[in-house]
Amino acid sequence: MASNKQNFQIYMGAYIYTNGTFKPFVVSGTPYPILFDVWNINFEERTDFLGSPNTQTLAGYERGNPMGYRTFCTIDLNNNLPSKSSGILTLLNLFTSQYKRSFFTTTIGSVSSPNVTIVGGVATTDYYTGLIVRNTSVSNQTRTITSYTSGGVATLDSPFSGWANGNNVVIEVPPSIPTVMGVTADSTNSNYMFFNLDSSIFGINRQLTVGNQVISIDLRGLFRKTLMADNMRIG
C-alpha cells in the first residue's frame, strides 16, 4: 500500500525477534507500536551487494553483485513537548542490548514449582520462551522460561520456593536477544519494516539560554529483500 503525500506521524516501537516472530515490548501496560510526531523522515531502498558492486575477472569481465534491496531510514523526531521527549527516551532506552530489558510487567497466578501462570500473557505457544522472569516480590529472584503454553503456563529452568499467586514479576529480555525497531512510513498501522539501530542522538542544544531537544535516529533494515516495499511509493 502506498504512503500518504503529507504526514506528520509514524508508528514506531521496540521489538524482539524470536522463533521467526516479531514481539513488541509492553511499556506502562501499552504494547508498541505507538504514534510519534516527526519533523523529517527519510526512507531509502538501497541495493545490497555481495561485497563490492562488481567483481572483475582476470579477463576483464565484470560480474554484477546486487543481491537485493535493504531499507535505510533517518528520522528527526518532533519533541516540542516534554511528554514527547519522554516517550522517545523510553523507546531508545530499550535498545541497550548489553543489559536485561523489561519486556512485560505483570503478576503470576497459580504456582506449582517449576511452573507459574503469567497473568495477561499472550496466548501463543512459546511466546516467552527464552526470556527471564524476575520476581520483584521475592528478593528479585530470577528464572529462565524454558517453555510456555498458549494457556499462559510457563515452565522455569529450576525449582523455586516462596513464590505465590499475586507476586509481581517482570518478564525480561536477556542480552543474547537484541532489540529491533519497527517503523511504518506513515500513520497507517500496517506494512511494518524492521530495522537495527545504527545510531541515535539524544541531547540538548542551548541557544541564548533556551534549550532545544535534539533527537535523531539512523536505522538499517534487518533483512535483505527481493523487492522494494510498496509503501515506499507515494500515491
Domain residue spans in the chain? 9-97+178-232, 101-173
- Per-residue pLDDT tens over the stretch 172-226: 999 999 999 999 887 777 778 899 999 888 887 787 777 777 788 999 999 999 9
* CA 196 to centroid of chain Cα atoms: 9
Rounded-to-integer distance, Cα 11 and Cα 55, Å: 40
Q: Which CATH class is domain 101-173?
A: mainly beta
pLDDT of residue 233: 80
Residue 229 grid coordinates: 516495499
Residue 59 pLDDT class (50, 70, 90 cuts):
very high
pLDDT of residue 113: 94
pLDDT over 70, % of the chain: 99
The C-alpha angle with vertex 190 and arms to 20 and 69, in degrees rounded to 5, equals 65
Q: What is the pTM of this model?
A: 0.88
The answer for residues whose C-beta is within 8 angstroms of residue 7's C-beta and 6 or more apart is 38, 186, 187
Topology match between the domains 9-97+178-232 and 101-173: no
CATH topology of domain 9-97+178-232: Elongation Factor Tu (Ef-tu); domain 3 (2.40.30)
Burial class (CB in 10 A: 0-12, 13-18, 19+), 130: middle
Residue 1 pLDDT class (50, 70, 90 cuts):
low
Neighbours of 111 (CB within 10 A): 16
Residue 100 grid coordinates: 536485561
Burial class (CB in 10 A: 0-12, 13-18, 19+), 149: middle
Q: Cell 508498541 appears where?
A: 32
Residue 113 grid coordinates: 514449582
DSSP-H helix ranges across the chain: 82-93
Identify the DSSP state of 123.
Answer: S
Residue 66 grid coordinates: 546486487
Rounded-to-integer distance, Cα 143 and Cα 108, Å: 13
CB hemisphere CA count around 50 (13 angstroms)? 7
Point out which residues pair with 41 in neighbouring strands.
75
What does the mean pLDDT of the chain come to?
Answer: 90
